[in-house]
Amino acid sequence: MCGRLNIIDDPFSQLVSRQLGITFYAKPNQDIRPSEQLQCIVASPEQDLFQFPLSWGLRTSWSSKLIINAQAETVSIKPTFQQAFALHRVVIPCSGWYEWSQGTSCAENKTKCSFYAADNSPLYMAAIGYPESKRVITLTTAPTQKYLRYYHRMPAVLAADSVSDWLNCNAREAEALLKNGLIRNAWTCRPA
């Protein structure tokens, strides 16, 4: 699943601000890696949206690896993710992400591919946050047939008009959004 994100300069921040009705700014970075800081969107108890920085990835006592994503299909029931899913859903606005297409014979044949919205609008990745440690992990879902050639999972991407719902609904409604409310083909791909 996308191990790198990119944030390009304005009008990206302006578009996020306009679409979500908030003031948003993200420093341009076309190669954000796990453990680096992401500008996320969260909701206050009053259901107001605001920007909040979180570092990408979670360290646990049971894994030596940084956990950067969780499966949308099981995030609500896995002990590591259950509370964050119920109480701390997050959105990560991004310009796109990267995957590496699988070569025919060996790792040297992998090609870095950039995924982005065909109209260059912001993409909103569903995520869960850990505010006490200032961490975030992205959610992934089963891939479309088109995406399968790149990887066996793909990011869970929300429509701009679903962002507030995702951040403010209860866990059961959030599960329904993950099953029926994701954008599954709103992006295009090119070699990076």
From CA 153, how far away is CA 147, in angstroms rounded?
Answer: 8
State the pLDDT at residue 28.
86
State the pLDDT at residue 3.
67
Mean pLDDT across 2-9: 63
Model confidence over 127-173: pLDDT tens digits?
999 999 999 999 999 999 888 888 899 999 999 999 999 999 999 99
State the pLDDT at residue 111.
81
Mean pLDDT across 119-123: 92
State the pLDDT at residue 102.
66
Model confidence over 97-120: pLDDT tens digits?
998 876 543 445 678 889 999 888
Give whole-number Cα distances, 173 to 1, 161, 167, 177, in Å: 24, 15, 10, 6
3-state secondary structure of 103: coil
CATH assignment at residue 134: 3.90.1680.10
Phi-psi region of 185 (alpha: psi -120 to 50; beta: other; left: phi over 0): alpha
Residue 107 is encoded by which pair of tokens?
């790792």
- What is the extent of the structural domain holding 156? 4-191
State the pLDDT at residue 125.
98
State the pLDDT at residue 148.
85
Please provide residue 12's backbone torsions phi and psi, each rounded to the nearest 5 degrees. -50, -55
Please check the confidence at residue 4 and state whether its pLDDT lies above 70: no
Model confidence over 84-100: pLDDT tens digits?
999 999 999 999 999 88
From CA 80, how far away is CA 11, in angstroms rounded?
Answer: 36
Please provide residue 174's backbone torsions phi and psi, each rounded to the nearest 5 degrees. -65, -40
Reported for 143-148, long-range contacts at CB under 8 A and 24+ positions apart, including other chains, are 144/184, 144/185, 146/185
Please provide residue 15's backbone torsions phi and psi, each rounded to the nearest 5 degrees. -65, -45
Give me the number of domains the chain comprises: 1
By DSSP bridging, strand 111-117 and strand 123-130 are unpaired
CA atoms within 13 Å, Cβ hemisphere of 32: 25
Model confidence over 11-59: pLDDT tens digits?
889 899 999 999 999 888 889 999 999 999 999 989 999 999 999 999 9
State the pLDDT at residue 21.
94
State the pLDDT at residue 109.
65
